[in-house]
Amino acid sequence: MRQLMIDNGWLVAAQQVPSPNYDDRPANTVISLLVIHAISLPPGEFGGEDINRLFTNCLDPGAHPYFSEICHLQVSSHLLIRRSGEIVQYVPFDKRAWHAGESCYRGRENCNDFSIGIELEGTDEIAYEDIQYDVLQTVIAAIRNAYPHIGESDVVGHCDIAPGRKTDPGPLFEWQRIGVTKPL
């Protein structure tokens, strides 16, 4: 995959589906963390527009039984990498997306303040696609280029910043494929 460019907080190669679910980061915040998530809607199903609908507050609670449980949530992420490798961006990187929830990294709470969230279309129980790893690796390089305070050890899973509450991206995620050595 070619080198990706970021312009004014937006990944140039991504489809833009702006979410209303974001706000400004606290003043003088340095972006220093990248959080990998997993999402599928309905759970265990891939494709379709339901992830876009969730992040834009347009999810139909009657379209699936699970949706009535989550349609009231106001959540977002910066990016989604679909199983096909397509990239969708919801929030500019310089803004605070609402992806991490209650979270802590190296003693710092509220990870949304200083992190970028990337969703992979997937689940804890199903292996991710090769193209997702390839695209993710390229996206990480572009983000690190634009936000150099994200160090090698600052790429983590949602499970790492919200242990006991979150498990994604799950045990099948192959960290070494994106050049990350997970701490024990």
Q: Which of 119, 121, 152, 174 is catalytic?
A: 119
**One-letter amino acid of 70:** I
CA of 103: how far to CAs of 59, 114, 136, in Å?
Answer: 25, 11, 22
- For residues 64 and 73, is the Cβ–Cβ distance under 8 A? no
If you average pLDDT over residues 92-115, what whole number do you get? Answer: 97
Q: Which residues pair with 89 in a beta bridge?
A: 16, 79
Report how far residue 66's alpha carbon sits from residue 168's, in angstroms, rounded to the nearest whole number. 18
Mean pLDDT of 113-132: 98
- Return the C-alpha torsion angle 84, 62, 60, 116, nearest 10: -60
Ordered by where they begin, the domains of the chain are 6-178 (3.40.80.10)
Decide: pTM greater than 0.85: yes
pLDDT bucket at 184, cuts 50 / 70 / 90: very low
pLDDT digits (tens, 9 = 90+) for 5-63: 999 999 999 999 999 999 999 999 999 999 999 999 999 999 999 999 999 999 999 99
Task: Tell whether the torsion through CA atoms of 110, 24, 86 and 155 is positive or negative.
Answer: negative
Tens-digit pLDDT profile for residues 123-153: 999 999 999 999 999 999 999 999 999 998 8
Q: In the annotation, is 125 catalytic?
A: no
> Dihedral sign, CA of 14, 176, 128, 93?
negative
Please state, for a pLDDT cut of 90, what percent of the chain lies above it. Answer: 94
Q: Which residue type sits at 95?
A: K
Which residue spans within the chain are E strands per DSSP?
A: 6-7, 10-11, 15-16, 22-24, 33-39, 79-81, 87-89, 95-97, 104-105, 108-109, 115-121, 155-157
Q: Which residue type does 26 have?
A: P
pLDDT at 126: 97
Q: What is the pLDDT of residue 183?
A: 57
Our measurement of the distance from residue 129's CA atom to the centroid of its chain's CA atoms, rounded to an integer in Å, reads: 16
The predicted pLDDT at position 143 comes to 97
Q: Quick check: 134 and 86 in contact, CB under 8 A? A: no
